[in-house]
Each structure stands twice: as structure tokens, then as C-alpha cells.
Amino acid sequence: RLEAVIFDLDGVITDSAEFHYLAWQALADELGLPFSREKNERLKGVSRMESLEIVLEGSELARLPEAEKLRLAGKKNDHYRQMIGRITPADLLPGIPELLDSLRERGISVGLASASLNAPQILERLGAAHWFQAVADPAKLRKGKPDPEIFLQAAELLGVTPGHCIGVEDAAAGLAAIRAAGMKAVGIGGVHQPGAADLVLPSTAALDAGKLLELFGH
């Protein structure tokens, strides 16, 4: 029986993935480093400091002391926070409000498993916090995605069994985390490896409660 659906935030609930990309691009430009959408794909679902390592890789800046790296990550976050300050409920991705309403009507719990420390603020700006019974805290994690820990933490907060959950993700690392947690995986975006997800949909507009329930044979 489907008990809960646990969502990634960036690229699933709202397109903040685009803001992360723009903020990293701005930092890379300031540092005179090459950056591309292709490289950005590797940052999806990955924590701020791990993302910085990927942005710096191949440059001598990769050897900067930790304090300097924290400062650079802080600069990226300043760019990012400026962008998310303009988020409104109109930025919920297509189909998401309807899906969240419909899950609530069916008594299916809803959780958030985002690696972003900015996630609670984004949910508030979207006017979406009321749909979520649990929000995993990435600051409490030992390991990020693709480790299953964040999805397991969300399931525990909801009081549900991982095997009765679905995870929804736009990134490869996130789908791997969902499957490692023993949950069914739904991939958004259509760029996923065969076998990476139980169901792949081109966008959130194609996501509805009926399709999720079908994964549990309802």
C-alpha cells in the first residue's frame, strides 16, 4: 500500500535548479573558471560544498584552504538567495498543486527530501509548506545523495515504512538514493538511464496521483 510520497525540491516542486545553475555560473565567471550546463548536471542533488569541489576541479583553486572554500560557497549562496527572494506561488511547477491536493485527499503523506539548506524558505515563498508533513533536515545527515539517508530520514519523520513510499526526483544521484532506500523511484525530465527509475515522466505536468498509485498496483 502506498503510504507516502517523498519529493525532491529543486527541479521537482519548483525550478530552483535553474537558480542554482545561474548562481554557480556567476561564481565561476567571477573566478574566471569554465562552467557549463553539462557540468551543472553533476551538481543536481549534491550539497553546496561538494558542488563547489566540482566547480573548482581542474583549477588550482581546488587547493584553496577550507576557510577560503567556505567563503566561495557563501558567495554562491548569496547569489542564490537573491534569486529565490523573488519566488512566488506562481513558481510551483505545472501539476504540483493538483498532485499535492489529491495526495492529501487520499490520505497519503507527503515529505520533502532536499539537500538544500534553503528548502524551508523556498517552501514558504511558494506557499507550499502546508502540504508537507515532514521536511528532512540536510544539516543532520552524515551522507548526501546518492546515499539513501535523506529519504530514510523523511520516511522516519513521517512514521512510514520505506517500502511503502515513492520518491520523486529529477537528478541521477537522487534516483539512486531513492532506490537504495528501498522506495519506488519516479524520475522527472526524461534524461534518465534505463533502469534508474520505476517510472520516468517528461515533466511534472505528466505526474498525477493515479500514476503513482498504479506503481503499487492500485
Q: Is 116 in the site for ligand G6P (CB under 6 A)?
A: yes
147 is known as an active-site residue: no
What is the Cα–Cα distance from 92 to 214, expressed in whole angstroms? Answer: 24
Q: Is 44 in the site for ligand G6P (CB under 6 A)?
A: yes
User: Smallest gap, in angstroms, from Cβ of residue 133 to ligand G6P?
Assistant: 20
Kindly determine how many residues on this chain lie close enough to bind ligand G6P according to the rule CB under 6 A: 16
CB nearer to Mg ion: give 155 or 177.
Answer: 177
Query: Which residues from 153-192 bind Mg ion, rule CB under 5 A?
Result: 170-171
Tell me which stretch binds ligand G6P (CB under 6 A): 37-45, 92-100, 148-156, 197-205: 37-45
170 is known as an active-site residue: no
User: Smallest gap, in angstroms, from Cβ of residue 107 to ligand G6P?
Assistant: 29
Based on the number of CB atoms within 10 Å of its own CB, is 170 exposed (0-12), middle (13-18) or buried (19 or more)? buried
DSSP 139-208: GG-SS-TTSTHHHHHHHHHHT--GGGEEEEESSHHHHHHHHHTT-EEEEESS-PPTTS-SEEESSGGG--
How do 199-201 and 165-169 pair as beta strands? unpaired
| β-pair partners for 6 | 111, 167
CB nearer to ligand G6P: give 20 or 179.
Answer: 20
Q: Is 119 in the site for Mg ion (CB under 5 A)?
A: no
**Which residue among 51, 109, 153, 204 contacts ligand G6P (CB under 6 A)?**
51
User: Smallest gap, in angstroms, from Cβ of residue 42 to ligand G6P?
Assistant: 10
User: Smallest gap, in angstroms, from Cβ of residue 162 to ligand G6P?
Assistant: 20
| β-pair partners for 14 | 10, 92
Burial 93-102 (b: 16+ CB within 10 A, else e): beebbebbee
Q: Which of 8, 91, 101, 198 is catalytic?
A: 8
Category of 58 on φ-ψ map: left (φ > 0), alpha (ψ -120 to 50) or beta: left
**Which residue among 11, 148, 162, 187 contacts Mg ion (CB under 5 A)?**
11
What is the largest distance, in Å, between two alpha-carbon atoms of the chain?
55
Give residues in contact with ligand G6P (CB under 6 A). 10, 17, 20, 43-48, 51, 77, 114-118
